[in-house]
Amino acid sequence: MDNEMAHYACDCWDAECKISSGWIECVGCADRSCYDLTQHTKFSGQRLVAERQLSVPKRVQITERKINSTIIGQIFRKDTSIVVKYLESLSENQAHSLHEKLEQENEKCTINEKEFIITRSMFKLETKEKIVQVEEFIPSVIEPTFGIGRLLYVTLEHNFKIRPEDNQRKYFTLPPLIAPYKCAVLPLSVNAEFKPFVKQISDLLTQADISHKIDTSSSNIGKRYTRCDELGIPFAIAIDFDTLQQPYSIALRELESLKQVRVKIDEIVSVLQDLATEKVTWNEIFALYPIFTEQQTKRLEN
């Protein structure tokens, strides 16, 4: 509706997102047309137009303004420049309207709060035919506006979840493509035997430009999984005692389903790259690799 548009727009479309408190505008796309350049021209008196070369010359009817500054100077003297500038700044429609009125009688114009009588001898329009090779136009502008903060908020709210079995376990289901961290690297414990594998896997992920977070704190792995879930990290690599056995492998866990598969270390980069770029889905990976429920190698921690 006109009363919902900015004064400079001739058309406007908005994109709204629905959140818990209702609909919120996140994107606006306004057609400013040539408002800005037209206003600059109006108040500066400078023609602001662009040109484009025509592939084929064309014959056009053009209207020229004939402003007789000599007669204007004789009548208005020191106000000559004010009147001339006013006549030059008229829009096409205003110029045609004045021309038609002067065909009948003189026209009284108010310029800078002062009245002037404009006569037919001072101003008229002449139409003639001309062959042009260059076309002039006033560029129009489409102005898109994005509320980045609102879009981020909507993304987070739409992906905020709570585990049904425990309302204290909150997490974000950010799509892998936009998640800041693609995966977490979590050794089962602070056991020194896991450190070389943490470094090896981190180096492989870094070389492949896969963003990841390492958590080697002394908290149990369940708490570390929860912390990663709260950050919206879609996948987690667990390094356990089975990792120490050849062929070296890790447990790969998916955030939302909590399901895990066993993947060889030398395959983990390609798997995560495909998941992070959404070339494959988790369900496809889950069907392709051995399901992991618990480690086969048991050791007592000191």
Cis peptide before 234 (omega within 30 of 0): no
CB 215 within 8 A of CB 233: no
Q: Determine the 3-state secondary structure of 193 from DSSP.
A: helix
Closest CA to 240 of 266, 269, 213, 220: 220
Domains of the chain: 1-49+138-160 (no CATH), 51-134 (3.30.720), 163-288 (3.40.50.800)
How does pLDDT run across 105-155, given as a tens digit for each residue? 888 888 888 888 888 888 888 888 888 888 888 889 999 999 999 999 999
Token pair, residue 204, equals 């492989």
pLDDT reading at 301 higher than 60: no
What is the separation of C-alpha 189 from the centre of its chain, rounded to a whole number of angstroms? 43
pLDDT reading at 3 higher than 80: no
Q: Which amino acid is at 160?
A: F
Q: Which amino acid is at 134?
A: V
The whole-number average pLDDT for the span 41-56 is: 86
Token pair, residue 202, equals 């981190």
Residues 215, 217, 223, 224: what is their CA dihedral angle, to the nearest 10 degrees?
0
Residue 219's Cβ-side half-sphere holds a number of Cα atoms within 13 Å equal to 12
| Backbone torsions φ then ψ of 253, nearest 5 degrees | -110, 140
pTM for the model stands at: 0.66
How does pLDDT run across 169-180, given as a tens digit for each residue? 999 999 999 999
Residues 174, 176, 178, 181: what is their CA dihedral angle, to the nearest 10 degrees?
90
pLDDT reading at 70 higher than 90: no
Cis peptide before 247 (omega within 30 of 0): yes
Question: Of 121-125, 199-203, 274-278, where does mean pLDDT reach its minimum?
Answer: 121-125
Q: How confident is the model at residue 302 (pLDDT cuts 50, 70, 90)?
A: very low
pLDDT of residue 114: 85
Question: Of 95-104, 220-229, 275-284, where does mean pLDDT reach its minimum?
Answer: 95-104
Burial class of residue 185, CB neighbours in 10 A (0-12, 13-18, 19+): buried
CB 187 within 8 A of CB 158: no
pLDDT reading at 187 higher than 90: yes
The whole-number average pLDDT for the span 268-293 is: 95
Return the biggest CA–CA distance within the chain. 109
User: Can you name the residues that pair with 15 across neighbouring β-strands?
Assistant: 27
As a whole number of angstroms, the distance between CA 288 and CA 295 comes to 19
